[in-house]
């Protein structure tokens, strides 16, 4: 039974909920529980899209510094692998994912949000990677995902300075994708996620894999990945349903099975 991270499923949407008061600090237990919840959401056929949420007040204000400060080189080497595994499990969910950000999303908290496909934040949110102020660098994927998301110059600005960024600036730089009133964050995330409940799940998973895997390689290899995934969808029930529905009724009327 997880203590700090839960997966709740309703109406086809899974909510991975971080709940370690007061600031959802990501200690090793939270990281391990996050990986368990993400893997459960990945394999549950009832889950068509996933929201990662820290609650009404805060998303996650970073790693547990007190825990890290007591570690030696060997221990932190194992711990950082655990951090990346927990966050990587969210990135690997083969379904649309959205981080619903309220309050602070800092350090490891922002790295969790970066592992989602989309980020929706309250207009009072503060995001950043302040690890440099501790004499270290982001270790949960921040240096890599920030650079891929925003480009190296903007990523270096955030990583080198450790500064906190408000919602409007984060939106302008592409760090978050939508800003709403703080009380509307989860509702907005759920609205976005609900689009995919009746969707062609295998095609969505293939699209996500094509984009994510393609970003990690050159264009020629990326095109081959796309070609392979495209052809594979012709072995699915949804492809037959979608094309037959298009021919008979026009676009947007297919009732997919997810198979």
Share of the chain above pLDDT 70, in %: 100
pLDDT per residue as tens digits for the range 155-175: 999 999 999 999 999 999 999
Given this model, what pLDDT does residue 2 score? 87
Give the separation between CA 205 and CA 53, rounded to whole angstroms. Answer: 22
pLDDT in tens, 222-238: 999 999 999 999 999 99
**Residue given tokens 């450790």 in the structure block:** 162
What is the longest distance spanned by two Cα atoms in the chain? 65
Do domains 5-194 and 201-249 share one topology? The answer is no
* CATH code matching the domain that covers 201-249, chosen among 1.10.12.10, 2.40.30.40, 1.10.10.10, 3.20.20.370: 1.10.12.10
Residues forming the active site? 111, 131
pLDDT at residue number 63? 87
Q: How confident is the model at residue 30 (pLDDT cuts 50, 70, 90)?
A: very high
Residue 253 scores a pLDDT above 80: yes
- pTM recorded for the entire structure: 0.95
Sequence-ordered list of residues with C-beta below 8 angstroms from that of 259, at least 6 positions apart, any chain: 202, 236, 237, 238
pLDDT in tens, 119-136: 999 999 999 999 999 999
Predicted pLDDT at 180: 98
| pLDDT averaged over every residue in the chain | 96
Q: Is residue 142 a contact partner of residue 113, using CB atoms and an 8 Å limit?
A: no
Query: Per-domain residue ranges for the chain?
Result: 5-194, 201-249
> In which element (H, E) is residue 258 found?
none
Residue 150 to residues 77, 154, 170, Cα–Cα distance (Å): 28, 6, 10
What number does CATH give the domain 5-194? 3.90.226.10
Distance of CA 18 to the CA centre of its chain: 13
């Amino acid at each position: 039974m997880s203590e700090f991270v839960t997966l709740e499923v309703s109406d086809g949407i899974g909510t991975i909920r971080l709940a370690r008061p007061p600031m959802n600090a990501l200690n090793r237990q939270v990281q391990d529980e996050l990986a368990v919840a993400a893997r459960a959401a990945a394999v549950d056929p009832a889950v068509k899209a996933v929201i990662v949420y820290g609650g009404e007040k805060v998303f996650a204000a970073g790693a547990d510094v007190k825990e890290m400060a007591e570690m030696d080189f060997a221990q932190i080497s194992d711990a950082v692998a655990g951090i990346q595994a927990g966050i990587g499990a969210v990135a690997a969910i083969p379904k649309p994912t959205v981080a619903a950000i309220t309050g602070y999303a800092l350090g490891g908290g922002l790295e969790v949000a970066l592992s989602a496909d989309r980020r929706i934040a309250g207009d009072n949110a503060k995001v950043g990677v302040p690890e440099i102020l501790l004499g270290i660098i982001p270790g949960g994927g921040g240096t890599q995902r920030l650079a891929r998301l925003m480009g190296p110059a903007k990523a270096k600005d955030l990583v080198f300075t450790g500064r906190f960024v408000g919602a409007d600036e984060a939106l302008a730089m592409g760090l978050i994708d939508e800003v709403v009133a703080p009380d509307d964050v989860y509702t907005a995330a759920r609205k976005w996620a609900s689009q995919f409940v009746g969707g062609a799940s295998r095609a969505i998973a293939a699209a996500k894999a094509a984009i994510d895997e393609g970003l990690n390689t050159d264009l020629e290899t990326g095109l081959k990945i796309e070609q392979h995934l495209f052809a594979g969808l012709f072995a699915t029930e949804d492809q037959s349903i979608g094309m037959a529905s298009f021919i008979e009724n026009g676009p947007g009327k297919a009732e997919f099975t997810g198979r």
